[in-house]
Amino acid sequence: MNAVQRLFGFHGGVKPAYNKEASTGLPIAVAPTPTLLVIPLHQSIGGVPRPLVKAGDRVLKGQRIGGADGNVSSAVHASTSGSVVAVEMRLMPHTSGLSALCVVIEPDGCDEWIPRQPFDFRSATPTQTRDYLRDAGVVGLGGAVFPSYLKLNPGKTGKLDTLVLNGAECEPFITCDDLLMRERAETIIKGTLIMREMLSAGQVLIGIEDNKPEAIAAMEVAAQAANQAAGDSSIKVVSVPTRYPAGGAKQLMRVLTGIEVPHGKRSTDYGLQCFNVGTAYAIYEAIALGQPLISRIVTVAGNVERARNYEVLLGTPMRDLVALCGPRADSDRVIMGGPMMGLRMPSDEVPVVKAANCVLVGSKQLFPPPPPEMPCIRCGECAKACPADLQPFEMYWFSRAKIFGKAQEYNLFDCIECGCCAYVCPSRIPLVDYYRFAKSEIWAREVEKEAADVARERYEFRLLREEREKQEKAAKLAAKTAAGREKAAAALAEVEKPAVTPEQDAKKALIAAAMERAREQKAQAHPENTINLTPEQQAEVEAIEARRAEIREMAKPHLRQDD
């Protein structure tokens, strides 16, 4: 058997009530296809994908409906076959309660797939494989939804020491990874082998919290089989102590390898990369089966009669999913994610997206409203609990006082928003809310500053351009005048001998040339209505001219008087 893996610890952490038993009793069920699928185009970190379909189009299951836009972006696909009802703004599964562009699909019930072909990643270049995974919409399914193709890059050295697979699932209530590992361990290992090959990684460490013995056993069996097939023991399933947030990428890497990735560095610089088990499963489906990411396992738990895990088509309204589990009458909210890091949804109509690992139904009884916030007493409990080794109280003071520069100096952006500090705070300060506020303010300022820099640059360029155009115009005019003068002088010189100074001569010649031109123009200009006249018209014209002459004669004495 395996030698005992040496484990390391991470700083801080808490032990909240896990509440996982309720949803692990039943196997994963396939959620029924809803009557209407609302698929948001923006489901990952990075650029908003461009819509590739329009209302009225028929789409097949797995057809790309949103194309990745920019360097960091990931495609989205139709979850089933049907017709596109609309591409319009719909309420997003986001705390803001704002809407964004979604593709609304009415399923036709056929569930007809696009032609599916395995992708031969061994004969493709790494870039081709990454582009394929980008277009297959594979993103990190642990909750951060970072496009996976960007992480499947071994970095400068071209190989990694360790691929870490994250099955810790430390957040209370959530059991989607647990059930996935219990039921589909073999597929996860197959996906892991693909990732390992892409990253040229030496060993694979699969970290699972020790409160999931069934998942550990299932993964052990699958890992042993893979090890035997390869004739080595490079895939190890490691049971890690249950402590929130052991499932944080940096925390799990530290527990398994003892390596702490410092501020501003990437884990690949230290020969490490970390993926969620669900992501490994999605990568296998995309590469070996040719199926893009169109569904995910979602835990429905909390204030429901029958908590369970479902395999849900992306775009299914959370309300439909919750209805399957029998929500209790006093339910008043839906949370996407767990109780520690989850986000309260503006409504239960919002669709399930790639980030939704859990739909947690809440009530006033289950999650009582937070007691009033008291002043910070500087006890330091938050710093003891912080798994990122930060000083939460310092960040809190500066965020509260809106001194964002100082908050950043205390490495606000290394905060993973796990909520341990707020959990232990005796003054019940919602610390994470302050950090989120400060982070979004800093981001907004950064964007504003960039826009101002661009505007300044463009304005300065415009001034420069105007100045340059003015000079060019002046130079052109000067050249033209000089050329004209020379020409005229030359013409004059041919006609007569120069008797005066050349300058006067040029001037004279200019005047003469101008007068000549005027004469020519005058000679050429005929009033067009006086040519080709009939004799009668001619006679009429003459009569009118005579009358005019007469009138002029008559007017003369008056004009003189006026003078």
Instruction: Give the C-alpha separation, 356 to 352, whole Å.
Output: 6
Residue of 7, 48, 124, 513 interacting with other proteins (CB under 8 A): 48
Span of 19-27, 88-96, 298-306, 503-511 interacting with other proteins by CB under 8 A: 88-96
Residue of 60, 100, 217, 512 interacting with other proteins (CB under 8 A): 100
CB 141 within 8 A of CB 249: no
Q: Which residues of 336-349 are buried (b: 16+ CB within 10 A; e: fewer)?
A: bbbbbbbeebbebe
The whole-angstrom distance between residue 360's C-alpha and the CA centroid of its chain comes to 26
Residue of 453, 467, 472, 486 interacting with other proteins (CB under 8 A): 453
| Closest CB to other proteins among residues 41, 201 | 41
Q: How far is the CB of 461 from other proteins (least distance, A)?
A: 8
Q: How far is the CB of 462 from other proteins (least distance, A)?
A: 5
Residue of 67, 126, 430, 498 interacting with other proteins (CB under 8 A): 430
What count of other Cβ atoms lies within 10 Å of the Cβ of residue 431? 28
Residue of 365, 440, 530, 538 interacting with other proteins (CB under 8 A): 440
Q: How far is the CB of 552 from other proteins (least distance, A)?
A: 44
| Closest CB to other proteins among residues 113, 413 | 413
| Closest CB to other proteins among residues 265, 458 | 458
Long-range pairs of 377-383 with CB within 8 A, sequence gap ≥ 24: 377/426, 377/427, 379/426, 381/421, 381/424, 381/425, 381/426, 382/420, 382/421, 382/422, 382/424, 382/425, 382/431, 383/421
Span of 77-85, 245-253, 428-436, 483-491 interacting with other proteins by CB under 8 A: 428-436
User: Virtual CA dihedral for 266, 271, 274, 280, nearest 10 degrees?
Assistant: 130
Span of 79-87, 107-115, 323-331, 454-462 interacting with other proteins by CB under 8 A: 454-462
Q: How far is the CB of 325 from other proteins (least distance, A)?
A: 28
Residue of 86, 408, 437, 513 interacting with other proteins (CB under 8 A): 437
State the burial class of residue 42 (Cβ atoms within 10 Å of its Cβ: 0-12, 13-18, 19+).
buried
CB 358 within 8 A of CB 173: yes
**SS3 state at 129:** helix
Q: Is 456 in the site for other proteins (CB under 8 A)?
A: yes
From residue 360 to residue 379, what is the string marking binding to other proteins with x (rule CB under 8 A)? ----------x-xx------
Helices 392-400, 431-495: axis angle to 10 degrees equals 60
Residue 37, strand partner residues: 105
CB 22 within 8 A of CB 328: no
Instruction: Give the C-alpha separation, 410 to 390, whole Å.
Output: 7
Q: Are strands 343-344 and 358-363 parallel, antiparallel or unpaired?
A: unpaired
Residue of 30, 110, 455, 539 interacting with other proteins (CB under 8 A): 455
The amino acid at residue 263 is H
Span of 152-160, 298-306, 459-467, 553-561 interacting with other proteins by CB under 8 A: 459-467
Residue of 20, 77, 90, 94 interacting with other proteins (CB under 8 A): 94
Residue of 20, 23, 38, 42 interacting with other proteins (CB under 8 A): 42
Span of 163-171, 176-184, 238-246, 461-469 interacting with other proteins by CB under 8 A: 461-469
Q: How far is the CB of 122 from other proteins (least distance, A)?
A: 38
From residue 324 to residue 363, what is the string marking binding to other proteins with x (rule CB under 8 A)? ----------------------------------------
φ/ψ of 332, rounded to 5, equals -130, 0
Residue of 59, 76, 84, 92 interacting with other proteins (CB under 8 A): 92
| Closest CB to other proteins among residues 48, 60 | 48
CB 257 within 8 A of CB 271: no
φ/ψ of 247, rounded to 5, equals -85, 0
Span of 281-289, 334-342, 457-465, 549-557 interacting with other proteins by CB under 8 A: 457-465
| Closest CB to other proteins among residues 458, 552 | 458
Instruction: Give the C-alpha separation, 363 to 323, whole Å.
Output: 15
| Closest CB to other proteins among residues 95, 157 | 95
**SS3 state at 392:** helix
Interaction site with other proteins (CB under 8 A):
42, 48, 92, 94-96, 98-100, 370, 372-373, 430, 433-434, 436-437, 439-441, 444, 447-448, 451-456, 458-463
